[in-house]
Amino acid sequence: MAELAHNAVLPMHPPPFEDETLSSWLMRLARANGTKFYSLCRWIQKSNKNIGRKLDIGVPRPFIHRLAYLTGLTERRVMNTTLDSFIGFLVPGLQKHHHFSGILMAGIERYAELRYLQQFCPLCLRDSNPFFRKSWRITFITACVKHEIRLQDRCPQCQAPVVPFKNDTKNQSIPFEGQWSECFKCGFDVKYAPILRAEREVVRSTKLINSILKKGYWDLGNGEWIYSFSFFSVLKHLMRLVIYKERKPYSKVQVDSIDVDMRYWAFSEMNQIFDLWPDNFIRFAESHGLFLYDFYSMYKTNPVLPFWLVEPLKEHRHFPKVAPESDHVKCACAYLKANGKKVNKYSISRLLGVCNSFVIDQIFDQEK
């Protein structure tokens, strides 16, 4: 890039494909201009410390502005290649430390390249113009609707995570000339990974998720609708509950950090629960032993529980004489404290919608 003036437009600037991630597009830009991925990123913005870690999320505005100028595109078009473009659809806003609920996260930055956050469809990567998609970074997407196969998140040969641009570090002076789908660790091309067929209902549910994400709302029926981020907050909590109740070792693991096989399993367990709302959902809650109080831990991330979720649960899965679990009582205490309300046995019982119990007495005494 040294031959180009700082303000020169890139000689070759192919536009991003629909649903392509920023990092994937930058890899193609670098190759088209005969330079290294990291060299291009530093030329765009020398002060960008996000390179190679969380490049697709929390992208600095100056980086977007300059890349738009260099490629002759609008800032909006460039911004749409980042995961930040899901704000307002997947989540209402970006949380602190650029945490993005519903997106497979890197966790602590220095360990980002060791996380299984990049999913892929082997058959999509065999296309004549392969690229990595934004939708492959979404926690709830575990199947390719085009090929109806399961997504994967690691090299099948050495189990290393998929980090395409790390291939560019193999030679410090010469740009990487192989396939970006090659494993940076062992060199195996993951587009030749074994094909795993997806269940028909999982593919169908994935299409529903894609539709809701694109429209920004979900139709409850009878002319009622809700914002998409409200739908996804409940979907994520349901996944956590299913995994917690059936797979105890995963109970303390964040859903956004769980491997694709476990998320696929959880999603297959929730087949059709959003069809004929709320009838199928109530049947699902009954078969999995879920009650209204199981959803009170959502207070950690939601100041108010969604009305469309609470109403059917109150009617069908709310039994005041059933003792709550200790985790639910602790969440209720935390919620009352955070909102400046009195914390006593009565207020806890009222919030949880249950009669006073030994569990509430015990936790309340500990919280004093």
Kindly give the interhelix angle for 37-44 and 61-71, rounded to the nearest 10 degrees: 110
- The answer to whether 263 touches 142, Cβ cutoff 8 Å, is yes
pLDDT band at 52 (very low <50, low <70, confident <90, very high): low
| Total residue count of the chain as it appears in this document | 368
Count of CB atoms situated within 10 Å of the CB of 5: 6
Q: For residue range 88-142, what is the model confidence (pLDDT) as tens digits?
A: 999 887 665 556 889 997 544 445 555 788 999 999 999 999 999 999 999 999 9
The owner of tokens 């309300």 is 341
Q: For residue range 300-337, what is the model confidence (pLDDT) as tens digits?
A: 666 678 889 988 998 888 766 566 777 778 887 887 88
Kindly give the interhelix angle for 345-352 and 326-338, rounded to the nearest 10 degrees: 110
pLDDT value at position 222? 76
Burial of 200 (0-12, 13-18, 19+ CB in 10 A): exposed
Give the global pTM. Answer: 0.82
Task: Give the sign of the dihedral formed by CA 164, CA 165, CA 169, CA 173.
Answer: positive
CA distance 248 to 177: 45
CA distance 149 to 122: 9
Q: For residue range 261-301, what is the model confidence (pLDDT) as tens digits?
A: 999 999 999 988 999 999 999 999 998 888 887 887 776 66
Contacts of 95 (CB under 8 A, 6+ apart): 101
**What three-state secondary structure class fits 157?**
coil
48-52, 253-257, 280-284: least confident range: 48-52
323 or 345: which leads in pLDDT: 345
CA distances 232 to 89, 92, 229, 238, Å, are 9, 10, 5, 10
pLDDT value at position 325? 74
pLDDT value at position 108? 42
pLDDT value at position 321? 59
| Amino acid occupying residue 80 | N
Over residues 224-238, mean pLDDT: 93
Q: In the chain, pLDDT over 90 holds for what percent of residues?
A: 50
- The answer to whether 29 touches 13, Cβ cutoff 8 Å, is yes
pLDDT band at 172 (very low <50, low <70, confident <90, very high): confident
Considering only CA atoms, give the Rg of the chain: 23
- The DSSP-derived string for 97-145 is GG--TTB----SGGGGGGS----B-TTGGGSSS---BGGGGBTT--EET
Helix ranges (H only) for the chain are 22-32, 37-44, 61-71, 75-79, 200-215, 228-246, 260-269, 279-287, 307-316, 326-338, 345-352, 358-367
CA distance 170 to 186: 11
How far is C-alpha 236 from the geometric centre of its chain's CA atoms? Answer: 9
pLDDT value at position 322? 64
pLDDT band at 14 (very low <50, low <70, confident <90, very high): very high
pLDDT value at position 251? 54
φ/ψ of residue 361, rounded to 5: -60, -45
